[in-house]
Structure 1
Amino acid sequence: MIQTTDDDGIRVITINRPDSRNALRPQDLEALDSAVEEAETPVILVRGAGNAFCAGADLDSVAELSDPEAFARLGQEVASTIESSPAVVVAGIDGPARGGGVELALACDVRVATPRATLGEPGVKLGLFGAWGGTVRLPRIVGEGHALEFSLSGRVVDADEALQMGLVSRIEDDPRTVAEEIAENERQSLRVIKERLRDRGSDVSRFEAEAQGFGELHRANVGDIAASREK
């Protein structure tokens, strides 16, 4: 479930599935996409309900995929909607962000972690990898060396290490304070600055290769994925 509230120039989008650590099903991704696309505020804050930011893809949904490439492309589309939104999108990472949750945060313009935040790409342990734009955006943001080590190890980093890597922009007790700080600025300036800093040309072919790779690994490891959700 995706919830939205608009207040003081900020649309707050909350991923509200706390019992699953805000893991995302296809319908949740579609609702998130709409919530971002329909925003009329200059700033968007994306956060998770309860004690987690987002656990990434819902494993029940992943285990039952008949078309894994389509699922990867859906996640890519949502991340691209976030990245290309005329609003400044702030990820408020409080608690765990895993897999697709990290990738959605990477698509945001500003990533703010609380001291409780932890981030990891555990897909490698299941025979998968981050396919919602993660292989494209992660090395761009943290550099190739950090991106390779972070993705290949599957380890979890805390807020301090994430800041050191450049994976998050700031550490604050309440990420909304950063959203409010940005929202105080002139709206047109925010939009133009984002457009200029985000203009890197097309990544279409790299996204497609990512989706195909995810599909190949999913078909090879679907049994292990299904077993892992029962643990």
Structure 2
Amino acid sequence: MIETATDGGVRVVTLDRPDRRNALTPAALDALEAAVAGADVPVVFLRGAGSAFCAGADLDAVAALDGRDAAAAFARRGQEVASTIADADAVVVAGIDGPARGGGVELALACDVRVATPEATFAETGATIGLFGAWGGTARLPAVVGLGEAMDLALSGRVLDADEALRTGLVSRIVDDPRAVAAEIAANDPEALRVIKNRLRDDAERGVQERREAEAFADLHADFER
């Protein structure tokens, strides 16, 4: 269900279940986490096989959850995988080509950079079936697009095309070849990439952030050669 390949400084992680639009089972979540956590290159590129990025959680697996405890555990597992993506040493780039739905949007939100092809579409469809995205989406979506946009998307279940996703900030670019963006980032200094990612993701109080920023700059400067 999860395929990996390394090309230069990029580990390509492919959600490889195209007959189910790359919907994720518990086993696939485990494999995805291992693929990202095990990356020993500066950039991970996350993509979907076939015509979709990711349909989110496999609904057969969701329907098979036996009771409240099992449902909560499934949500927590998805949250853990999303946090592994967000906290990885590598910069994680999501290349969205085709539909991203529910948990697929949530995995993309956990990535550091999200780029879309013109064919990409996005929707938080949980409310249409009596659920909602519980893999960290209710925290990350408003942080990325703002509370008003997040309310609209999550409560309506409407579909965004690539242009609207760009307008809302859900993606940063629309490109024909998302893999090229991962290569562009990987061409930079790997230690600088790691430090910059950590600084930008730091949610500490501003004074603490600024102190850490200065210390990180000094660490990099020690190896700086003009």
Q: Is the TM value for this pair above 0.5? A: yes
The whole-number CA distance in structure 1 between the counterparts of 2:4 and 2:11 is 7
How many pairs does the alignment contain? 201
Is 1:192 aligned to residue 195 of structure 2? yes
> Partner of 2:123 in structure 1?
120
RMSD: 0.6
Identity %: 68
The one of 126, 133, 145 aligned to 2:136: 133
Letter in 2 for 1:151: A
Is 1:100 aligned to residue 106 of structure 2? no
Query: Per-residue deviation at 1:35?
Result: 0.3
Query: Per-residue deviation at 1:200?
Result: 1.5
The whole-number CA distance in structure 1 between the counterparts of 2:91 and 2:102 is 22
Give 4+ residue runs of structure 1 displaced > 2 Å after superposition. none
> Partner of 1:160 in structure 2?
163
The one of 167, 170, 173 aligned to 1:170: 173
Query: Per-residue deviation at 1:199?
Result: 1.2
Query: Per-residue deviation at 1:137?
Result: 0.4
Query: Per-residue deviation at 1:105?
Result: 0.0
- For residues 55-134 of structure 1, the aligned pairs below 5 Å read 55-66=55-66, 67-134=70-137
The whole-number CA distance in structure 2 between the counterparts of 1:170 and 1:178 is 9
Letter in 2 for 1:31: A
- For residues 12-31 of structure 1, the aligned pairs below 5 Å read 12-31=12-31
Letter in 2 for 1:7: D
Query: Per-residue deviation at 1:10?
Result: 0.1
Which 5+ residue runs of structure 2 have no aligned equivalent?
205-226
Letter in 2 for 1:73: R
Letter in 2 for 1:117: A
> Partner of 2:224 in structure 1?
none
Indicate the SS of the match to 1:71. Answer: helix
Query: Per-residue deviation at 1:52?
Result: 0.2
The whole-number CA distance in structure 2 between the counterparts of 1:33 and 1:18 is 19
Letter in 1 for 2:3: Q
The whole-number CA distance in structure 1 between the counterparts of 2:8 and 2:82 is 25
1:149-199 C-alpha deviation (Å, 9 max, x unpaired): 010000000000000000011101110110011000000000000001111
Query: Per-residue deviation at 1:8?
Result: 1.0
Indicate the SS of the match to 1:14. Answer: strand
The whole-number CA distance in structure 1 between the counterparts of 2:129 and 2:167 is 27
Between structure 1 and structure 2, the one with the greater Rg is 2
Which 5+ residue runs of structure 1 have no aligned equivalent?
202-231
Letter in 2 for 1:28: A
The one of 178, 181, 185 aligned to 2:184: 181
Indicate the SS of the match to 2:30. Answer: helix
The whole-number CA distance in structure 2 between the counterparts of 1:155 and 1:140 is 19
> Partner of 1:213 in structure 2?
none
1:195-230 C-alpha deviation (Å, 9 max, x unpaired): 0111125xxxxxxxxxxxxxxxxxxxxxxxxxxxxx
TM-score normalised by structure 1 residue count:
0.86
> Partner of 2:209 in structure 1?
none
Letter in 2 for 1:188: E
Letter in 1 for 2:115: V
Letter in 1 for 2:59: L
